[in-house]
Structure 1
Amino acid sequence: MNGYFRTAMLLAGLTGLFLAVGFMLGGQSGMVIAFGIAVAMNAFAYWNSDKAVLRMYGARQVDANSAPQFYSMVQRLAQRAELPMPKVFIIDNDQPNAFATGRNPENAAVAATTGLLSRLSAEEVAGVMAHELAHIKNRDTLIMTVTATLAGALSMLANFAMFFGGPHSNGENRNNPLGIVGVLLVSILAPIAAMLVQMAISRSREYEADRMGAEISGRPDWLADALEGIQSGAARVPNQQAENNPATAHMFIINPLHGRGMDSLFSTHPRTEERVRRLRAMIMGGSVPPRRPASTPPRRGGSVPDAGGRNPRKGGLPWG
């Protein structure tokens, strides 16, 4: 119920933002139009936002034939998590990263970049996908995806403000109660509001997904190692698709953006160092095995071949 309550509150807040922006741009008539747009966007976001985000990143769906190792890994993890098998996607992007989406566990999808599959070991990829399945199990994906879609819509509204809310040739806009001041306010504040909307995703949900993901895989050290590798890779490799759609940044396991100053201010991701510390504390606490089996030493590069044709690691998942 908490997930549905958070989603309802988010939708109500975004609807209020649309109404406020509509009033600032066009008075009462603008507010009515904005209300209609908000209702339509809310309905679209609930039913189609996952598909929109996957299309936005050019994700391609894979199956047991097109990506056998990766698909089998997700399948085994989903079984361990007692979840329906999600749809599996691969994104052609060199930055190592991943996200989950979908309005409920029965209509969920997980997506990983080619950079993640080629740069991380099989164990580390398993740790990441277990984290994403934890988001699905906790029903975080609906609010994450709805936020991405509607926050992006707010940013687009700001871009249109100068065209639809600007003063007429006579220097006045009778429908805009604040005139050019209202247009400027929308242009400046709407993008900030979109970033604040991303913060509706509580950072505690990432900690909870880390914890549950470690339980699903049985190895918090896999996810801890993966987070360190993804953080390093994301800092070096740009993700242009994410830079063009910053409202989706909170969906990824690690912030994909490079504008660090503003990202730190509005980030929904906890500090990677703290996430790693908590995961390693789970090992020290004795809730999981303290080290990897000797037969599966950590190794980066080419661990899951489905994205780039590299050779898979022998034996599949260590616990498979």
Structure 2
Amino acid sequence: MNYFRTAVLLAGLAAFFMAIGYLLGGTGGMLIALLFAGATNLFAYWNSDRMVLSMYGAHEVDARSAPELHRLVADLAARAGLPMPRLFLMDNPQPNAFATGRNPENAAVAVTTGLMQSLTREELAGVIAHELAHVKNHDTLLMTITATIAGAVSMLAQFGMFFGEGPGFVGSLALMILAPLGAMLVQMAISRTREYAADEMGARICGQPMWLASALARIDDAAHRIPNPQAEHAPATAHMFIINPLSGHGMDSLFATHPSTGNRVAALQQLAASLGPQGRGAAPATQHGPWNRRSGARGPWG
């Protein structure tokens, strides 16, 4: 159902974009909108990962510079049937993470220093598994496309005043206000749908839904207290993170980039119950620093 809903929303967003082109410039405007969308998506396909990693000052780490983190990611990637992604570290006190890349063969997973300092090894495994689920589901490409089209809708609506044809001054003004809002709502709906899917698959990859549930609760609490300046300056990238990095976000709503954390935790608790004793492992709550401390309990991947 998640995949069907995502496909419908994405098709609706593309149709919405072309409809705006038609309203502003007739058939010619619709064709221009289609060509513009294709060009921007082609550029995003090849360059979006480098752009966002550079935006957050992420630097690549490997088995030598971050051996335990690298080993954890490699083990989880193997469990997920994925090639080892490139691994990046962001010098940011807010615990958070995201995945990017046009396909599993060119994927990257980025985590903040705050994430590594705040979570246990088990919780970190849950977060990494969630990001690998995005890679496996090709969500990294999907969210790039939706963000690109949503941005193009805003740009096209702002250019509406300069079209020779169209709905007139008042209509163009209304379109300039309402079109970006509509595109943003569809983009957010797609993002929320993909988060639920990645939570479920990530929980299955690491084998313990409650590890991810515990991590989500801890990250959400910290994200309300610790600012993320880079994200505040680039709010269009907020949907990429496992938890909304922006200050002031609230519960599940039309304007939320993510489902509410309480809803996500509840869904993971239901999944844990359905998996039986194996999926109801106690969520760790005390020991932090998985890269330099052992919790004593090995994950199901090792």
Determine if the TM-score, normalized by the shorter chain, exceeds 0.5.
Answer: yes
- Match of residue 308 from structure 1: none
Change in Cα spacing, 1:51 to 1:178, as seen in structure 2 (3 Å) is: same
Return the alpha-carbon distance in structure 2 between the equivalents of residues 234 and 59 of structure 1. 19
**Cα deviations by residue, 1:25-66 (Å, 9 ceiling, x for unpaired):** 566665554333212012223333333333333322221122
What residue ranges of structure 1 are gaps of 5+ in the alignment?
Answer: 167-172, 305-311
TM-score when normalising by structure 1: 0.78
Letter in 1 for 2:218: G
Return the alpha-carbon distance in structure 2 between the equivalents of residues 265 and 8 of structure 1. 17
| Structure of higher CA gyration radius | 1
- Match of residue 45 from structure 2: 46
- Match of residue 126 from structure 1: 125
- Match of residue 288 from structure 1: 278
Contact 2:191 2:257 in 1 (8 A): yes
Which of 298, 301, 307 in structure 1 is aligned with 2:285?
A: 298
Aligned residues: 298
- Match of residue 250 from structure 1: 239
Which of 215-224 and 276-285 deviates more?
A: 276-285
Contact 1:198 1:247 in 2 (8 A): no
Return the alpha-carbon distance in structure 2 between the equivalents of residues 215 and 252 of structure 1. 20
Shift of 1:130: 0.8
Shift of 1:317: 7.4
**Cα deviations by residue, 1:152-172 (Å, 9 ceiling, x for unpaired):** 3434555xx2xx554xxxxxx
Letter in 2 for 1:143: L
1:146-295 pair list within 5 angstroms: 146-157=145-156, 161=158, 164-166=159-161, 175-201=164-190, 203-260=192-249, 264-285=253-274, 286-288=276-278, 290-292=280-282
Change in Cα spacing, 1:59 to 1:39, as seen in structure 2 (3 Å) is: same
Change in Cα spacing, 1:156 to 1:241, as seen in structure 2 (3 Å) is: farther
Contact 1:3 1:140 in 2 (8 A): no
Return the alpha-carbon distance in structure 1 between the equivalents of residues 243 and 183 of structure 2. 19
Which of 253-262 and 205-214 deviates more?
A: 253-262
Change in Cα spacing, 1:38 to 1:280, as seen in structure 2 (3 Å) is: closer
Contact 2:250 2:260 in 1 (8 A): no
Contact 2:127 2:212 in 1 (8 A): yes
Which of 145-154 and 123-132 deviates more?
A: 145-154
Return the alpha-carbon distance in structure 1 between the equivalents of residues 87 and 138 of structure 2. 17
Letter in 2 for 1:299: T
- Match of residue 65 from structure 1: 64
1:11-26 pair list within 5 angstroms: 13-22=12-21
Contact 2:121 2:294 in 1 (8 A): no
Change in Cα spacing, 1:152 to 1:300, as seen in structure 2 (3 Å) is: farther
What residue ranges of structure 2 are gaps of 5+ in the alignment?
Answer: none
Percent of aligned pairs sharing the same letter: 59
Shift of 1:99: 1.7
1:58 partner SS: coil
Change in Cα spacing, 1:82 to 1:15, as seen in structure 2 (3 Å) is: closer
1:88 partner SS: strand
2:72 partner SS: helix
Letter in 1 for 2:203: A
- Match of residue 55 from structure 2: 56
- Match of residue 169 from structure 1: none
Shift of 1:275: 1.9
Letter in 2 for 1:318: R
Contact 2:251 2:259 in 1 (8 A): no
2:63 partner SS: coil
Shift of 1:229: 0.3
Return the alpha-carbon distance in structure 1 between the equivalents of residues 20 and 252 of structure 2. 24
Letter in 1 for 2:254: L
Return the alpha-carbon distance in structure 2 between the equivalents of residues 74 and 48 of structure 1. 24
**Cα deviations by residue, 1:110-150 (Å, 9 ceiling, x for unpaired):** 12122212221221111111111122223322212222233
